[in-house]
Amino acid sequence: MKKEVFRGVATALITPFCDRRVDYEAFGNIIDAQIEAGVDALVVCGTTGEASTLTDEEQIDTIAFAVKRAAGRVPVIAGAGSNDTPHAIALCKGSCEVGADALLLVTPYYNKTSQRGLIHHYSEIADSVTKPLILYNVPSRTGLNIAPETYAALADHPNIAGIKEASGNISAIADSISLVDGRLTFYSGNDDQITPMLALGAEGVVSVLSNILPAETKKICTLFWEGKTKESAELQIRLLPLVRALFSDVNPIPVKAAMAMLGVCREELRMPLYPMEDGKREKLRAFMEKAGLKTVR
């Protein structure tokens, strides 16, 4: 099996903004707090980080800042995917040049391609860099699902190390894990499926929830690996209402509202994302407070 990029919890970080610019002061504080809480890796400029609204320069600068701030304490995984293969390669190379430890690559969207095209897309990207790649399967956003057989075809590439699986299809994920036979590391891409994914052999989660509850998210994994499967499942289930609230609107709208409620950053999004309705916000606040978080009004 290839070396894991991480084992445990990688937080899919928000990108805080202030007056339409990246708020690096808030971002640095978020990075420090996450590492101090014990997360195992940081994902920068992914979906939760609103990468699709960042310019290429902003994206590389944000990744560079995270690498410098993390200072080797945990791996920094850079979102660098695109539906244009040469553009993805350029983002990957730029991310590597500023020190990213690994790269997260969403499937092509809109002009989606075939499974054969996916193999060539990911293989060309993997051939262009020396850092490990984590492929990201999220068909609800991209309209394209990575088939188990496609994972198997890509599994022998030395630079393709892992999978963030957010399809939600547990049966297909089980088939994928079986077919790759230890050649790839799987991570849950859904906060409501951490324990089930661990039970299938996943090595952790790329989490939105851990933006606000990093220690508790990691505890779900730790309990499972300590053989306390029931306790892991109980914590997973106890946090489900909060997880659902964090996805009651398009991600990262709710989690950014949650971070603002915690006084961490402004509730500033880039269009077309728009702040959530007051009713949903107050329900989110109630679940946060029930989970023990102190919010500001």
Cβ(211)–Cβ(202) below 8 Å: no
Of 27, 24, 31, 29, the closest CA to residue 10 belongs to 31
User: N- to C-terminal Cα distance for the chain?
Assistant: 49
Q: How far does CA 144 lie from the centroid of its chain?
A: 18
pLDDT, position 3: 85
pLDDT, position 1: 59
pTM: 0.96
Residues known to be catalytic: 136, 164
Angle, CA of 259, 262 and 266, to the nearest 5° = 50
Residues 227-250 pLDDT 10s: 999 999 999 999 999 999 999 999
Residue 228 backbone dihedrals phi, psi, to 5 degrees: -95, 65
| CB-based contacts of 195-199 (< 8 A; 24+ apart in sequence) | 195/220, 195/224, 195/229, 195/232, 195/233, 195/236, 196/170, 197/165, 197/173, 198/224, 198/225, 198/232, 199/224, 199/229
Beta bridge partners of 188: 165, 205
Residues 89-121 pLDDT 10s: 999 999 999 999 999 999 999 999 999 999 999
Report the distance separating Cα 179 and Cα 35, nearest Å. 34
Residues 133-181 pLDDT 10s: 999 999 999 999 999 999 999 999 999 999 999 999 999 999 999 999 9
Residues 39-79 pLDDT 10s: 999 999 999 999 999 999 999 999 999 999 999 999 999 99
Domains of the chain: residue spans and CATH: 8-216 (3.20.20.70)
Cβ(112)–Cβ(144) below 8 Å: yes
- State the residue for tokens 């603002």: 260
**Residue 2 — pLDDT band, cuts 50, 70, 90?**
confident
